[in-house]
Amino acid sequence: MMAKGYLITGKKNNIKNRSYSSKEGNSHVDVDIRLDGKRLFIELQTNELEQYDLIHNSIAQYVDKNSVAADVQTFVVKDLGSIYITVNDTAPYDPLKREYDIHVVSDKHITAYN
């Protein structure tokens, strides 16, 4: 992550949590990675539409099912797990910028070793 220009903002070795951040102009990307045993959890907060498009387009051919409920898009991806995406308006309101909160949760049968 640091090779891609992210700065480490939080590190807890005993519980294997990492937080990275990247800010360029008015855009930001915050990534939290948590290793829980053999499972990996990734949380991504951004206001970059390109980041949302990158994730959405890269999983499009692997989606087993998707749904939208209460402003949360849910994608179940084959051999990965579930991806939850929440889209909110920014404060102050800007029709061109939105806040994207993306959670990647691995399936309980899928581990980091797969």
User: Where do the domains of the chain lie?
Assistant: 2-106
Question: 63-114: per-residue pLDDT in tens?
Answer: 888 888 778 888 888 878 888 988 888 777 777 788 889 988 888 776 655 5
CB-based contact 62:76 (threshold 8 Å)? no
pTM: 0.77
pLDDT of the residue at 49: 85
Reduced to 3 states (helix: H, G, I; strand: E, B; else coil), residue 15 is coil
pLDDT of the residue at 14: 67
How many other C-beta atoms are found inside a 10 Å radius of the C-beta of residue 29? 19
Question: pLDDT grade, residue 16 (50/70/90)?
Answer: confident
Sign of the C-alpha dihedral, residues 63, 101, 81, 38? positive
φ/ψ of residue 90, rounded to 5: -85, 160
